[in-house]
RNA sequence: CGGGAUGUGGCGCAGCUUGGCCUAGCGCGCUUGCCUUGGGAGCAAGAGGACGGGGGUUCAAAUCCCCCCAUCCCGACCA
């Protein structure tokens, strides 16, 4: 390919509306252009990267026995109503009507469609297990699309669904996908880690996320440097620490805390540690208000709380509601004598002795509050958000924390959808049984962005070899120098003829421009043909990642390049 | 959804406070020519926008007012 004929619109300046590095660089380097918020054109370079990632994904899915198909993007509402998600999915579902007024949606995921397909076509245990997948656009009307390709409203995703006879079969399918995903991201050249995760809206039980490490990531994970444990903080369990006090419970009493509302204000006013305070947070659920209690220095994990309460909705109550329920200004709510609300306490809270809480009275707190004596929780559970430094739930050593980008997730769905949609098969005894399902997604475009997020420097993108749009760019220093152009052409033809993905930068630009663009675009190898090369017969090969340069005779260039890109 | 900000040629911006020297300016990019060629050169001549959209105020609006749209950021309450 000749650069003079390629659509690679590089920009010298950072686009004003791009915040994160991957977004900025992908726009600047001519890979993507925005069509609307969260909706992008993938230009030729980006499409090449996408195809490479897709190829890796296809190979690994197929290796595990996956069969590729294509399902509709436009999906009828009836299936979603049948699964119950038409109402549950919420505003993220792009909804539309046809000319007859019938409801449809743009598929954010395909459990309904595939379950419908399989229930109609698969009837016998002999046809199971089945692994079906597709790679196509997905649509989610995100409340806030941002970060370029990292959180778009239209994006490319691979989704695979497994159908098994039983949970043992599902376990095998799940492990296959775990292996496949690990191989996919390894082959993409990314630094990542599978972590235990929460199953969120899709439902189901066991699930892992594949997290690419990157500072801009929206996911916070903790992992143990000593054992294999790794989890999304939303999921990570947090065993209570050991009781450190042998204090005797003292009598409950009130203390005036005028104007002190926050944990910091109250504890500093009383001259004590936040660990002695019980923080009371009111949540509103479809089953009424709930007071959630954690130690003053902890945070509530709303995902855990929602799960433990077994509610669909769980939001922090607004301030007027807090005032109404506690009968005091916000900041003075406490579990003691709090009428009419359910109380959910974190495990750690139950170990506290002579704690401080709000007294449900303006400017007043209680001292010497003792859980069990002064109030009785309706629910005691692990409710707190894990932090780096907390003990590993497996080996008890301190956990490390990091940010990352979720590029894949695998779920065990069980019979959630097969039951809702009646996807059953006949077993050996002729008995109908629900298929046991799993679903497994990889964000293709997000993986591309994550790769940039993880692999760049101040000059531009540094593509991992496996997913680079091209392997090599050949840069003649002067397009007016006939000898250089001849030699550059020769090198280009040699490489192209040998199947190397190579671009000849034949644009009539000054060398600086071509070098800058080469760095920005992130070609793994740059071959420079200047006067030195013409005279010595050796061209300069420079590695984008390291800046390391080698002089290679033209006769050897194909072998040399092929060795680097690993195709020999 | 709430809050904030922005919207001026392909990109980045200035002009708006104190309407009229703006039938709009600068840098980059683009076109043509000359010149230059190892890290985004230089000179010259050009093309390209009626200022997000609509409505108002005014003798006069990119500048003031109203509505709408779009984009970006922050937040969604840790009491």
Nucleotide nearest to A478 in CA–C1' terms: B37
Q: How many CB atoms lie within 10 A of CB A534?
A: 18
Instruction: Note the CA–C1' distance, A539 to B45, in angstroms.
Output: 39
pLDDT at residue A204 tops 60? no
**b/e map of A447-469 (b: 16 or more CB within 10 Å)?**
bbbbbbbbbbeeebbbbbebbbb
3-state secondary structure of A323: helix
Q: Judge whether A488 and A504 are in contact, CB under 8 Å.
A: yes
Which of the four pLDDT bands, split at 50, 70 and 90, describes residue A160?
very high
Nucleotide nearest to A11 in CA–C1' terms: B11
pLDDT tens column, A60-81: 999 999 999 999 999 999 999 9
Instruction: Note the CA–C1' distance, A36 to B53, in angstroms.
Output: 17
Q: Which residue has the tokens 């629910």?
A: A379
Q: Judge whether A235 and A198 are in contact, CB under 8 Å.
A: yes
pLDDT at residue A326 tops 90? no
**Which residue is closest, via its CA, to the C1' of B76?**
A316
Q: Give the pLDDT score at A472.
A: 98
Mean pLDDT of chain A: 91
Nucleotide nearest to A265 in CA–C1' terms: B79
Per the model's pLDDT, the better-predicted residue between A129 and A145 turns out to be A129
CA A300/CA A285 separation, integer angstroms: 15
CA A539/CA A149 separation, integer angstroms: 37
Instruction: Note the CA–C1' distance, A16 to B16, in angstroms.
Output: 21
Q: Judge whether A56 and A451 are in contact, CB under 8 Å.
A: no
pLDDT tens column, A446-501: 999 999 999 999 999 999 999 999 999 999 999 999 999 999 999 999 999 999 99
Instruction: Note the CA–C1' distance, A38 to B14, in angstroms.
Output: 30
Instruction: Note the CA–C1' distance, A15 to B21, in angstroms.
Output: 34
Cα-Cα end-to-end distance for chain A: 22
Q: Give the pLDDT score at A568.
A: 57
Q: Judge whether A135 and A157 are in contact, CB under 8 Å.
A: yes
Residues in chain A: 568
What is the CB-side half-sphere exposure of residue A557 using CA atoms within 13 A?
A: 34
What is each CA distance from A524 to A125, A153, A191, A460, A466, in whole angstroms? 49, 31, 18, 12, 10
Which nucleotides of strand B lie within 7 A of protein CB? 1-2, 11-13, 27-29, 36-41, 70-79
CA A551/CA A549 separation, integer angstroms: 7
Q: Give the pLDDT score at A79.
A: 94
Locate A372 and state its tokens.
Answer: 């069990």
Nucleotide nearest to A507 in CA–C1' terms: B37
Instruction: Note the CA–C1' distance, A98 to B8, in angstroms.
Output: 40
Instruction: Note the CA–C1' distance, A293 to B40, in angstroms.
Output: 58
CA A517/CA A454 separation, integer angstroms: 20
Which of the four pLDDT bands, split at 50, 70 and 90, describes residue A201?
very low
What residues have CB less than 8 Å from A167, skipping those under 6 apart? A414, A436
Question: Tell me, what's the ipTM?
Answer: 0.93
CA A447/CA A409 separation, integer angstroms: 12
Instruction: Note the CA–C1' distance, A320 to B43, in angstroms.
Output: 70
β A103-106/A95-97 pair status: antiparallel
3-state secondary structure of A438: strand
Which of the four pLDDT bands, split at 50, 70 and 90, describes residue A215?
confident
In eight-state DSSP terms, residue A107 is -
pLDDT tens column, A74-118: 999 999 999 988 887 888 899 998 989 899 999 999 999 999 999
Nucleotide nearest to A480 in CA–C1' terms: B37
Nucleotide nearest to A34 in CA–C1' terms: B71
pLDDT at residue A222 tops 50? yes
């Amino acid at each position: 390919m000749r650069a003079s004929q390629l659509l690679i619109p590089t920009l010298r300046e950072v686009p004003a509306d791009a915040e994160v590095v991957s977004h900025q660089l992908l726009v600047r380097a001519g890979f993507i252009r925005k069509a609307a918020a969260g909706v992008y054109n993938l230009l030729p370079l980006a499409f090449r990267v996408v195809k490479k990632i897709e190829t890796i994904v296809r190979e690994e899915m197929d290796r595990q026995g996956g069969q590729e198909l294509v399902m509709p993007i436009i999906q009828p509402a009836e299936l979603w109503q049948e699964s119950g998600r038409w109402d549950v999915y919420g505003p993220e579902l792009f909804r539309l009507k046809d000319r007859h007024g019938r409801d449809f949606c743009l598929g954010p995921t395909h459990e309904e469609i595939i379950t419908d397909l399989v229930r109609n076509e698969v009837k016998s245990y002999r046809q199971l297990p089945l692994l079906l997948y597709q790679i196509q656009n997905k649509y989610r009307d995100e409340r806030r699309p941002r970060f370029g390709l990292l959180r778009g409203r239209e994006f490319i995703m691979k989704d695979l669904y497994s159908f098994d006879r039983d949970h043992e079969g599902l376990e095998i399918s799940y492990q296959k996908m775990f292996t496949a995903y690990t191989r996919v991201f390894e082959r993409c050249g990314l630094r990542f880690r599978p972590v235990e995760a929460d199953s969120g809206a899709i439902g189901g039980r066991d699930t892992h996320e594949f997290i690419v490490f990157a500072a801009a990531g929206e996911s916070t994970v903790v992992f143990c440097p000593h054992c294999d444990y790794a989890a999304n903080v939303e999921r990570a369990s947090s065993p209570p620490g050991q009781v450190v006090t042998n204090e005797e419970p003292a009598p409950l009493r009130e203390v005036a805390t005028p104007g002190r509302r926050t944990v910091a204000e109250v504890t500093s006013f009383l001259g004590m540690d936040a660990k002695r305070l019980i923080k009371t947070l009111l949540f509103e659920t479809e089953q009424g208000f709930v007071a959630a209690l954690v130690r003053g220095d902890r945070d509530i994990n709303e995902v855990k709380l929602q799960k433990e309460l077994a509610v669909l909705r769980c939001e922090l109550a607004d301030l007027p509601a807090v005032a109404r329920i506690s009968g005091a200004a916000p900041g003075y709510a406490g579990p003691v004598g709090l009428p009419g609300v359910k109380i959910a306490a974190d495990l750690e809270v139950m170990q506290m002795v002579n704690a401080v809480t709000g007294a449900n009275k303006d400017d007043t707190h209680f001292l010497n509050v003792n859980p069990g004596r002064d109030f009785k929780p309706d629910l005691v559970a692990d409710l707190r958000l894990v932090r780096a430094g907390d003990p590993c739930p497996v080996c008890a050593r301190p956990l490390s924390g990091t940010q990352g980008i979720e590029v894949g997730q695998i779920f065990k769905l069980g019979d959630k959808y097969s039951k809702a949609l009646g996807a059953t098969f006949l077993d050996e005894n002729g008995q109908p049984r629900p298929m046991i399902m799993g679903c497994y997604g990889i964000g293709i475009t997000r993986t591309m962005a994550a790769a940039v997020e993880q692999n760049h420097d101040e000059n531009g993108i540094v593509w991992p070899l496996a997913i680079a749009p091209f392997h090599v760019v050949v840069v003649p220093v002067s397009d007016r120098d006939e000898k250089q152009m001849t030699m550059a052409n020769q090198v280009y033809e040699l490489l192209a003829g040998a199947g190397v993905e190579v671009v000849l930068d034949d644009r009539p630009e000054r060398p600086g421009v071509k070098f800058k663009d080469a760095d920005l675009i992130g070609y793994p190898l740059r071959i420079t043909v200047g006067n030195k090369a013409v005279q010595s017969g050796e061209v300069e090969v420079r590695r984008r990642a390291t800046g390391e340069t080698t002089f290679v005779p033209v006769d050897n260039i194909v072998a040399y390049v092929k060795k680097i890109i690993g195709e020999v």
